């Protein structure tokens, strides 16, 4: 995110064992692997004002994954006896990845649900990609979901993030998905301080006008993500916080998910703890799923802002 404010106070989010207060830092132990994410690469057809991982037409810090690499991790998950419910694909824009249709198919063929995060713009609307999406939807039905980023139910706010005209282009993509019979969800943002009920009502009206079969009151079909201010100074999460906040560690995203990335120049993919922290070396857990299934110290502002205090989750 392009925010140049001061950020956390010095000394915070440094020691993986202790918060600045000296209290033990909260850790999240894996309870299994419910969702396995694949970051297909950080290249994107647009550059948002506040992108979570700074995707853009020029950012290739994370390079394209291949279908063979995805299949290898799915094979490992099966060999480890991990009961994956969902395989997620994010980016960048996943439909820019040359082998994305094969990657999604690899998950669906194994009986898993596949969730693809997309801006529903030009990369998705290429005829070859459209044909692949239709084929997957026809073969696998509701186990395939495309979650479309629509930052707000009003064009002016969405376009503020993504550029003039982006709202109408995304709506055209949503209309195509409706006509193609593809199960669709939407991801919005809470950046503008709108009350959640008002936000959901606004999206419900939009979905009704567009004839979209999306329940705006279902948090799995309309996900409203809490904002992460890189320049803010959120509290550190210590072991004491679980009781104070009446929250359990197993409710946090990294208890049941991991993400595979491939860094530019690396000789292979690696596994990180979180979809939101692909660049922080402290959250790189190994090359294999077996290595990556270990406790994660909540040693980043996003852990506090998005996951624990914000209650956010990238999974469906």
- Would the pLDDT of 1 be above 50? no
Q: pLDDT above 90 covers what percent of the chain?
A: 84
State the virtual CA torsion across 83, 86, 90, 94 in degrees, nearest 10: 110
What percent of the chain is modeled with pLDDT above 70? 97
- Average pLDDT of span 36-58: 93
CA distances (Å), origin 205, targets 57, 183, 249, 269: 33, 19, 36, 42
CA distance 273 to 291: 11
Find how far residue 123's CA is from the centre of its chain.
Answer: 18
Q: In CATH, which of 3.40.50.2000, 3.40.50.1820, 3.30.2010.10, 3.20.20.70 is domain 27-308?
A: 3.20.20.70
Determine the average pLDDT of the residues in 143-160: 97
Rounded Cα distance, 316 and 300, in Å: 23
Q: Is the pLDDT of residue 314 over 80?
A: no
- pLDDT, tens digit (0-9, with 9 covering 90-100), for 103-120: 999 999 999 999 999 999
- Between CA 260 and CA 269 the distance in angstroms is 7
Q: What is the model's pLDDT at position 316?
A: 65
pLDDT band, very low/low/confident/very high, at 51 (cuts 50, 70, 90): confident
* Joined tokens for residue 115: 């969730």
Question: Would you kindly state where each structural domain of the chain is located, as residue ranges?
Answer: 27-308
Nearest to 128 by CA among 99, 89, 88: 99
Query: What is the bridge-based pairing of β-strands 144-149 and 183-189?
Result: parallel
CA distance 210 to 298: 41
Whether the predicted pLDDT of 4 surpasses 50 = no
Mean pLDDT of the chain: 93
Residue 7 has pLDDT above 80, yes or no: no
Average pLDDT score over residue span 263-279: 94
HEC-encoded secondary structure of 55-118: CECCCCCECCCCHHHHHHHHHHHHHCCCCCCEEEEECCCHHHCCCHHHHHHHHHHCCCEEEEEE
pLDDT for residue 187: 96
Q: Does residue 37 surpass a pLDDT of 80?
A: yes
pLDDT score for 6 = 63
The order of strands in the sheet holding 183-189 is 222-225, 183-189, 144-149, 113-118, 86-90, 35-39, 257-261, 270-272, 284-286
Q: What stretch of H or E contains 197? A: helix 196-210
The larger pLDDT score, comparing residue 192 to residue 230, is at 192
d(CA 218, CA 275) in angstroms, rounded, equals: 22
Q: Indicate whether 3 pLDDT > 50.
A: no
Between CA 115 and CA 90 the distance in angstroms is 9
Tokens at 199, concatenated: 């936000």
Residue 285 confidence (pLDDT) above 80:
yes
């Amino acid at each position: 995110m392009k925010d140049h404010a001061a950020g956390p106070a010095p000394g915070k989010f440094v020691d993986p064992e202790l918060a600045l207060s000296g209290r033990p830092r909260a850790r999240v132990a894996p309870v299994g692997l419910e969702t396995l994410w694949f970051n297909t690469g950080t290249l994107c057809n647009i550059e948002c004002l506040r992108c979570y991982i700074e995707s853009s037409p020029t950012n290739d810090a994370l390079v394209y994954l291949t279908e063979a690499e995805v299949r290898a991790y799915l094979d490992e998950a099966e060999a480890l006896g991990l009961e994956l419910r969902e395989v997620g694909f994010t980016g960048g824009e996943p439909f820019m990845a040359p082998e994305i249709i094969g990657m999604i198919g690899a998950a669906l063929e194994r009986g898993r649900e596949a969730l693809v995060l997309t801006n529903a713009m030009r990369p998705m609307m290429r005829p070859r990609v459209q044909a692949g999406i239709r084929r997957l939807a026809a073969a696998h039905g509701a186990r395939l979901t495309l979650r479309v980023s629509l930052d707000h139910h009003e064009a002016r706010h969405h376009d503020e993030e993504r550029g003039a005209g982006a709202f109408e282009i995304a709506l055209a993509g949503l209309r195509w998905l409706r006509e193609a019979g593809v199960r669709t969800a939407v991801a919005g943002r809470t950046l503008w301080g709108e009350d959640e009920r008002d936000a959901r009502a606004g999206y419900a009206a939009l979905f009704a006008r567009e004839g979209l079969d999306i329940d705006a009151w279902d948090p799995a079909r309309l996900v409203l993500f809490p904002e992460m201010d890189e320049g803010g100074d959120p509290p550190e999460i210590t072991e004491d916080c679980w009781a104070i906040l009446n929250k359990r560690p197993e409710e946090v995203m990294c208890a049941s998910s991991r993400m595979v990335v491939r860094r530019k120049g690396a000789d292979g993919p690696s596994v990180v703890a979180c979809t939101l922290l692909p660049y922080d070396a402290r959250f790189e857990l190994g090359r294999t799923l077996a290595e990556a299934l270990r406790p994660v110290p909540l040693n980043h502002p996003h852990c506090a802002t998005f996951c624990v205090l914000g209650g956010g989750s990238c999974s469906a």
